[in-house]
Every structure is written in structure tokens, then in C-alpha cells.
């Protein structure tokens, strides 16, 4: 009988694994780590010391640096990455979820490196990905996020633990914005749509751009448009499931969009701009509506009632389960290891 795969899993250290509130990359790493452990993979997780996991935890940073201003991010990033690569010989594979910096270590070790690219923060980081294109194996999180200059081993959509999300056949009477309060995520557009249509709106998420929040969100808060801040898993489930629809009126090419599939798991459809991965995640008039501008979004708000929330849940179960994501990564690992 073949021995289990020995995997070194490198998480970011901006937030805990799993995150207490915000932290999409860390959330995906947590889901993957626990799923792989349940399948018998020998996982060593490199994350902050307060992380919670069934895997073997190796930590340099005592806390996530986004929660500990006394920690210098670059110092702990360097120490964190080095800790994984100094142990590379202990693993059959290293799996990097920590963006481009770990790539610069990849030619110093013989252990194969898989890098899940969680999007490109800027074109300026591409020279690193190009330079190490032949030194590892890149995974895209959507076909839309594949860069033409790079070679990919696979596209693997994120998956979520469906048991964490309660199906709600009958929603409450509000629309929901769930994400960073930032221009990219379209909080301003969600507020404007609510004002145009008279719909109730709840906004949830971290304030990533304080000036943006104070200009485009805060002045319009009232009894119908509410901001509830960042929320944890229990509140997330209740907010997503209670919404008539999720508003994802993004101003950038979203690499994936966890909130969209989390909403699906509760039965809630999404109105999204037709950008980035949205056409991959949303099947029009079955799990949501794709639009090109705010006028179109205004016209389709009432169409949400015609979407069968049972179909939304079924789409989440069929396409976006944690088990499917773990299956896809296990298949990739086996192929790379010749198993």
C-alpha cells in the first residue's frame, strides 16, 4: 500500500487559518487542509501560530500581521516562507497559496512546487510569475483569471463546506452586499441600486478604503441601508440566507468570488456585473443574473423572485463543494507525482 502524500501547505499570514472574519485566501487554505487530512494526506500547514487545524502546524508569526501592528509584515513573510522551504526535503510536494514571493525559492529545492494563483494584484507582479513559469506548476482559480503569458497545470474552482450554510427557501426582504468596502467590490454601486429601487440593503465586510467608505457609503446609511461591518461564520450564514439577492457589482475582473458561491449554498441568487469569473460561476436565470451596468441591474432586481432557490443550492452542491475541490487537488497531486 502506497504511503500517504506528504504535503507542505503554505498559507498567507495576513490573517489566521481559518480567518475569524475576513481572509479569503486563508479560508480556502483551511478548507483544503482539513479536507486533505480527512482523505489521509499527511499535511504540514505553515501559518500563523494561532491557526486552528487538524494538520501539523509550523508557525513563525505568533499572530497574523493584519491583527498585530507590532509585527513587521516583510520580516515575518520572509521568515515564514523560509521555514517552509528549509523543510522542503520532508515533503513530496509544496503547495503555495502565498502569492509570488515563494516562487523565488523554488529553484533552490528539489521538491516540486504547486502555486495556486489567487489573482493578480497588479501587472507589476507578473515578471516573477513569468521568471518561474518553468520551475513549478500553476493553478488558476478560474479560467477567466488565466494569464496568456503563463502555463497552467489546472484550473480548480474553490469549494466550500456546504454544511456551514443553511438553505433558506424563503428569504427576508433585503438585498445584500458582502465583501470588502472598496471601489473594486462595488459597494457604491450597491448603495446606488438600493437608493434607485427603494430596496432594503445590508452591507457587510471590512472597510478596506476608509475614504471611499466615508464618501460613498456612510452618508447614505439610514433605516433602509445598513452597514453591519465584518461578520463571522454564524452571522454570515444568516445574512446570506436571508437575502433576496446578493449584489456583486464589481469594478474589476474578479478572479473567483467566494461570496457568490456561499450565497448559492443558502439558496440566494446573485446580480453581478459580467466581469472576470462571474460568467463561470453564475448560470443566468438559474443561479443569478449577469448585467453590464447599473441601469440593467435596476431593471432585473424584481427578476430575482423568479429564480428557484432550490436550484441555487443544487448548483452549489454540484459545482462548489469542498469535496469536489479536494478531489481536484488530489488528482493534480497524483498526476504530478506519477501516482
Backbone angles phi, psi at 44, to 5 degrees: -110, 120
Task: Tell me what pLDDT residue 110 has.
Answer: 97
Is the same domain home to 121 and 21?
yes
Is the same domain home to 47 and 22?
yes
* C-alpha distance from residue 118 to each of 96, 100, 109, 178, 219 (Å): 10, 10, 23, 19, 33
Count of domains forming the chain:
2
The verdict on residue 1 lying in a domain is no
**Domain span at residue 309?**
162-319
Per-residue model confidence as pLDDT tens digits over 159-180:
999 999 999 999 999 999 999 9
Per-residue model confidence as pLDDT tens digits over 218-270:
999 999 999 999 998 899 999 999 999 999 999 999 999 999 999 999 999 99
What letter does residue 21 receive in the DSSP assignment? Answer: S
For the sheet with 6-10, list strands across it: 56-58, 42-46, 6-10, 93-96, 113-117, 137-140, 152-155
Task: Tell me what pLDDT residue 2 has.
Answer: 76
Contacts of 273 (CB under 8 A, 6+ apart): 186, 248, 249, 250, 251, 290, 291, 292, 293, 297
Say yes or no to pLDDT of 201 above 90: yes
CATH number, position 200: 3.40.50.2000
Is the same domain home to 309 and 184?
yes
Is the same domain home to 143 and 238?
no
What percentage of the chain exceeds 70 in pLDDT?
Answer: 100
Task: Tell me what pLDDT residue 159 has.
Answer: 98
Q: Please state, in angstroms and rounded to a whole number, the distance separating the CA atoms of residues 187 and 204.
A: 10
- Residue 152: enclosing H or E segment and its boundaries? strand 152-155
Is the same domain home to 139 and 170?
no
Is the same domain home to 33 and 23?
yes
Angle 221-207-242 from CA coordinates, rounded to 5°: 60
Is the same domain home to 177 and 304?
yes
Is the same domain home to 197 and 276?
yes
Is the same domain home to 82 and 42?
yes
Amino acid at each position: 500500500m502506497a504511503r500517504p502524500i506528504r504535503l507542505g501547505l503554505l498559507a498567507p499570514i495576513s490573517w489566521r487559518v481559518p480567518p475569524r472574519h475576513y481572509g479569503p485566501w486563508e479560508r480556502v487554505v483551511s478548507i483544503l487542509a482539513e479536507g486533505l487530512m480527512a482523505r489521509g494526506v499527511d499535511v504540514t500547514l505553515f501559518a500563523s501560530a494561532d491557526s486552528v487545524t487538524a494538520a501539523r502546524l509550523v508557525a513563525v508569526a505568533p499572530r497574523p500581521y493584519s491583527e498585530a501592528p507590532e509585527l513587521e509584515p516583510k520580516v515575518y513573510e520572509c521568515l515564514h516562507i523560509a521555514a517552509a522551504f528549509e523543510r522542503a526535503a520532508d515533503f513530496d510536494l509544496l503547495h503555495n497559496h502565498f502569492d509570488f514571493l515563494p516562487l523565488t525559492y523554488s529553484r533552490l529545492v528539489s521538491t516540486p512546487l504547486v502555486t495556486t494563483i489567487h489573482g493578480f494584484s497588479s501587472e507589476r507582479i507578473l515578471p516573477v510569475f513569468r521568471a518561474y513559469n518553468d520551475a513549478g506548476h500553476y493553478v488558476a482559480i478560474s479560467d477567466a483569471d488565466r494569464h496568456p503569458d503563463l502555463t497552467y497545470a489546472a484550473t480548480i474552482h474553490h469549494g466550500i463546506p456546504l454544511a456551514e450554510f443553511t438553505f433558506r427557501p424563503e428569504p427576508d426582504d433585503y438585498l445584500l452586499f458582502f465583501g470588502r468596502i472598496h471601489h473594486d467590490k462595488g459597494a457604491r454601486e450597491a448603495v446606488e441600486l438600493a437608493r434607485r429601487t427603494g430596496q432594503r440593503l445590508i452591507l457587510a465586510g471590512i472597510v478596506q478604503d476608509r475614504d471611499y467608505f466615508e464618501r460613498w457609503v456612510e452618508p447614505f446609511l439610514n433605516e433602509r441601508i445598513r452597514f453591519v461591518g465584518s461578520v463571522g461564520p454564524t452571522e454570515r450564514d444568516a445574512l446570506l440566507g436571508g437575502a433576496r439577492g446578493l449584489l456583486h457589482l464589481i469594478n474589476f475582473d474578479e478572479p473567483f468570488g467566494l461570496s457568490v458561491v456561499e450565497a448559492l449554498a443558502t439558496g440566494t441568487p446573485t446580480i453581478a456585473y459580467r466581469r472576470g469569473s462571474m460568467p463561470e460561476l453564475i448560470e443566468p436565470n438559474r443561479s443569478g443574473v449577469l448585467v453590464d451596468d447599473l441601469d440593467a441591474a435596476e431593471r432585473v432586481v424584481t427578476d430575482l423572485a423568479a429564480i428557484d432557490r432550490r436550484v441555487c443550492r443544487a448548483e452549489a452542491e454540484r459545482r462548489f463543494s469542498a469535496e469536489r475541490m479536494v478531489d481536484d487537488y488530489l488528482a493534480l497531486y497524483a498526476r504530478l507525482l506519477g501516482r
